[in-house]
Structure 1
Amino acid sequence: MDPEPWLSGTLLHVPPVQRAVLHALQLAEHDLTRWCADLSLAELNARPANLPSIAFQLRHIARSIDRLLTYAEGGILSEQQLSALNLETENIFDREKLFQELKTGMEEAARRINAFGREKLDQPRKVGRKQRPTTVAGLLIHIAEHTQRHVGQAITTAKVVRSKSTAT
Structure 2
Amino acid sequence: MEKLEVWMRGPIKDIPDLLQPVAHALLQVDEELFALFENFPRERLWLRPMGLASIAFHLQHIPGVIDRMLTYAAQNPLSEEQLRYLELEGKKDDRIDGIYLLNRLHQQIIVAIETLKNTKETALSAHRTLGRKKIPTTLIGLLFHAAEHAQRHVGQAIVTRKIVLADHHTNSE
Q: CA deviation at 1:12?
A: 5.3
Q: Deviations over 1:49-108 (max 9, x none)?
A: 111000110110001100001001111111110010000011232313222211111111
Deviates more, 1:89-98 or 1:67-76: 89-98
- The 3 A distance-change label for structure 1 pair 33 and 67 is same
Q: Where do 5+ consecutive residues of structure 2 fail to align?
A: none
Quick check: 2:68–2:78 contact (8 Å CA) kept in 1? Answer: yes
AA of the residue aligned to 2:44: E
Within 1, Cα distance between the matches of 2:117 and 2:168? 41
Within 1, Cα distance between the matches of 2:87 and 2:125? 31
Quick check: 2:15–2:116 contact (8 Å CA) kept in 1? Answer: no
Quick check: 2:29–2:154 contact (8 Å CA) kept in 1? Answer: yes
Q: Deviations over 1:110-139 (max 9, x none)?
A: 112222111110110010111000000111
Q: CA deviation at 1:35?
A: 1.6
TM-score by length of 2: 0.90
AA of the residue aligned to 2:64: R
Who is 2:35 aligned against? 34
Q: Deviations over 1:20-60 (max 9, x none)?
A: 11100111111111222221112111111111000110110
AA of the residue aligned to 1:126: T
AA of the residue aligned to 2:109: M
- Identity rate of aligned residues, in percent? 38
Quick check: 1:17–1:137 contact (8 Å CA) kept in 2? Answer: no
**For 1:96-111, what aligned pairs fall within 5 Å after superposition?**
96-111=99-114
Aligned residues: 167
User: Following TM superposition, where does structure 1 have runs of at least 4 consecutive aligned residues deviating by more than 2 angstroms?
Assistant: 164-167
| Higher relative helix content | 1
